[in-house]
A and B are shown apart, each in its own frame.
Chain A
Amino acid sequence: MTSDVQWQNYLDEVSDALLTGNHQQIDKLRSKYGIAYKDDHQLVSLIEDMNQSFTTVEPSAQFSSRLKNELIGVEQTGVVWRIRKLPARVQWAAIVATILGGGLLVLQRLLGASESLRKEERTSLPEES
């Protein structure tokens, strides 16, 4: 005679076996708990049916991203946004570096331009003999 608690444990273990795809485990569990096929086959097939019926449903990508944007704001990935997320002193360092870098580029161009002007002047002047 199988008690209520034994039935509970048996059905619990059967469910775990079916959920993990160990169908061959069922007969072992039947003999472990002394339960006959005629007594449990309806319940076992019910568990199996539920296992097959309940499959994970993915929410649509459109819904997921729209809701996330509504909840926490649009996810931004631009350079300005990344800089704004940095600590203040890092932001200042970035600004100074940008200004210095830009200044150097301008200076280099000016120097390069004046150098080429000089070269042009040298080539265009007629040689005095």
Chain B
Amino acid sequence: MFNFNRKSKSLDYKNMDDRELVQLAKEDKEAFGEIYERYLTKIYNYIYYRTGNQQDAEDLTAKVFYRALSHIENYVDKGVPFQAWLYRIAHNLVANFHRDKGRRKIIPLDDYIAHTLTSDAPDKQAEISEQKEYLMEAIHRLPADRQQLIILKFIEQKSNADIGEIMGRTEGAIKSLYHRTLLSLRDEIELQQLTLKSDQPQNREKQG
């Protein structure tokens, strides 16, 4: 009888696990399309929170998927989840981006604030906006691996085991890194607030 294999196969992409999809994607662009649908938002968010603006996030996300498409033929399954490979590409591209452009210290934070503050009252918004800005600035001063951990935990809501697989570390090492990250962030924010407080009287004196 008639063979409708191709049609039914294309409908099954959504139910396939990553391993099957990646094998197919080496020859089949539609399978790569499913991978793209599955990971676009995740990769975009990872890059967005590492770069701080939509334009750079779009440029780098496009580069990640172009690189993935051109190298997927050579991808070898070593028992590590496929998404770890994608995150590693994203991580390397973000690192290159910061190194090439020297943008790490001048990341615009307006996008975050505009994105997350749309419903609160204006006076409350200003206060939250300021707190959020301190926090984001402190996070951006963290080493790349700590930023990656924070994003995977709070955006992707991944378990320590999954984060460990993506970052190539043990679950225990992730817990320890998270602990150290929280402590350094707390100290950083405290220092930032102290500096601001000590600056304010000086400014007032200058203005007076």
Task: Please list the residues of chain A having a beta carbon within 8 angstroms of any beta carbon in chain B.
Answer: 4, 7-9, 11-12, 15, 19, 42-43, 46-47, 49-60, 63-64, 67-68, 70-73, 75, 85-87, 89-90, 93
Pick the interface stretch among B79-87, B94-102, B147-155: B147-155
Task: Please list the residues of chain B having a beta carbon within 8 angstroms of any beta carbon in chain A.
Answer: 2-7, 10, 29-30, 32-33, 36-37, 40-41, 44-45, 48-49, 54, 57-58, 61-62, 65-66, 69, 112, 115-116, 131-132, 135-136, 139, 150-151, 153-155, 157, 160, 175-176, 178-179, 182-183, 185-186, 189-190
Find out whether the CB atom of B29 lies under 8 angstroms from the CB atom of A73.
yes
Contact residues in A for B178 (Cβ distance below 8 Å):
8, 11-12, 15
Output the residue of B4, B61, B179 with the most chain A CB within 10 A: B179
Closest to A64 in B: B40
**A46-B185, A47-B182, A71-B69 as given contacts; A57 in contact with B45, CB under 8 Å:** yes
Closest to B65 in A: A71
* Secondary structure of the A contact surface, majority rule: helix
A64 to B57, CA, bound (A): 12
A80 to chain B, nearest CB (A): 15
Q: Return 11 A-B CB contacts under 8 Å, by A number.
A: A8-B178, A11-B178, A19-B154, A42-B186, A53-B154, A57-B45, A57-B57, A60-B58, A63-B58, A72-B32, A87-B5
Partner of A72, one of B29, B151, B179, B186: B29
A68 to B47, CA, bound (A): 18
**A12-B160, A67-B61, A86-B7 as given contacts; A57 in contact with B115, CB under 8 Å:** yes
Closest to A59 in B: B44
A68 to B116, CA, bound (A): 27
Find out whether the CB atom of A11 lies under 8 angstroms from the CB atom of B182.
yes
Find out whether the CB atom of A53 lies under 8 angstroms from the CB atom of B112.
yes
